[in-house]
Amino acid sequence: MGSELEKWVLMVTARTPTNIAVIKYWGKRDETLILPINDSISVTLDPSHLCTTTTVSVSPTFDHDRMWLNGKEISLQGGRFQSCLREIRARAQDVEDEKKGIKIKKEDWQKLHLHIASYNNFPTAAGLASSAAGLACLVFSLAKLMNLKEDNSQLSAIARQGSGSACRSLYGGFVKWDMGKEDNGSDSLAVQLADEKHWDELVIIIAVVSARQKETSSTSGMRDTVVTSALIEHRAKEVVPKRIVQMEDAIQKRDFPSFARLACTDSNQFHAVCLDTYPPIFYMNDTSHRIISCVEKWNRAEETPQVAYTFDAGPNAVMIARDRKTAALLLQRLLYNFPPQSDTDLDSYIIGDKSILQDAGIKNMKDVEALAPPPEIKDNISTQRSKGDVSYFICTRPGGGPVVLSDESLALLDPLTGLPK
Indicate the helix (H) or strand (E) that contains 191: strand 189-194
Q: How far is it between the farthest Cα atoms of the chain?
A: 79
Query: Residue 219, interface with ligand DP6 (CB under 6 A)?
Result: yes
CB of 130 to ligand DP6, least distance (A): 10
How far, in Å, CA of 212 to CA of 131, rounded? 21
- With CB under 6 A, what is the number of residues at the site for ligand DP6? 14
- Decide: 179 and 38 in contact? Cβ < 8 Å: yes
CB of 92 to ligand DP6, least distance (A): 25
How far, in Å, CA of 313 to CA of 220, rounded? 11
Cis before 279 (ω within 30): yes
Residue type for 166, please?
A: A
Choose the stretch contacting ligand DP6; rule: CB under 6 A; options: 17-25, 91-99, 252-260, 274-282. 17-25
Cα-Cα-Cα-Cα torsion 105, 106, 109, 115, nearest 10 degrees, comes to: 80
Which of 117, 325, 302, 106 lies closest to 202 in space, CA to CA? Answer: 325
Which of 339, 336, 333, 301 lies closest to 319 in space, CA to CA? Answer: 333
For 12, phi then psi, to 5°, come to: -135, 140
DSSP assignment string, 364-391: SHHHHHTPPPPGGGTT-TT----TTSEE
Query: Residue 34, interface with ligand DP6 (CB under 6 A)?
Result: yes
CB of 34 to ligand DP6, least distance (A): 5
Choose the stretch contacting ligand DP6; rule: CB under 6 A; options: 160-168, 191-199, 318-326, 399-407. 160-168
Is 202 or 313 the residue whose CB approaches ligand DP6 more closely? 313
C-alpha pair distances (Å), 4 with each of 49, 62, 67: 43, 11, 23
Query: Residue 70, interface with ligand DP6 (CB under 6 A)?
Result: no
Is 53 or 316 the residue whose CB approaches ligand DP6 more closely? 316
Query: Residue 235, interface with ligand DP6 (CB under 6 A)?
Result: no
Which of 302, 356, 298, 363 lies closest to 331 in space, CA to CA? Answer: 356
How far, in Å, CA of 1 to CA of 92, rounded? 14
Judged by CB under 6 A, the residue of 27, 47, 134, 164 near ligand DP6 is 164
How far, in Å, CA of 95 to CA of 247, rounded? 42
Choose the stretch contacting ligand DP6; rule: CB under 6 A; options: 53-61, 162-170, 205-213, 358-366. 162-170
Query: Residue 24, interface with ligand DP6 (CB under 6 A)?
Result: yes
Query: Residue 163, interface with ligand DP6 (CB under 6 A)?
Result: yes
Q: By rule CB under 6 A, what string of x and - marks binding of each residue 111-140 to ligand DP6? A: --------------------x---------
How far, in Å, CA of 52 to CA of 122, rounded? 9
Query: Residue 40, interface with ligand DP6 (CB under 6 A)?
Result: yes
CB of 322 to ligand DP6, least distance (A): 22
Find the residue with minimal CB distance to ligand DP6.
164
Judged by CB under 6 A, the residue of 313, 329, 350, 390 near ligand DP6 is 313
How far, in Å, CA of 211 to CA of 127, rounded? 10
CB of 223 to ligand DP6, least distance (A): 8
Is 119 or 283 the residue whose CB approaches ligand DP6 more closely? 283
CB of 21 to ligand DP6, least distance (A): 3
Query: Residue 165, interface with ligand DP6 (CB under 6 A)?
Result: yes
Of residues 374-413, those binding ligand DP6 (CB under 6 A): none
Q: Is 123 helix (H, G, I), strand (E, B) or coil?
A: coil
How far, in Å, CA of 205 to CA of 308, rounded? 10
- Decide: 243 and 266 in contact? Cβ < 8 Å: yes
Query: Residue 218, interface with ligand DP6 (CB under 6 A)?
Result: yes
Is 311 or 392 the residue whose CB approaches ligand DP6 more closely? 311
Judged by CB under 6 A, the residue of 25, 119, 174, 256 near ligand DP6 is 25
CB of 313 to ligand DP6, least distance (A): 4
Residues in contact with ligand DP6 by CB under 6 A are 21, 24-26, 34, 40, 131, 163-165, 218-219, 312-313
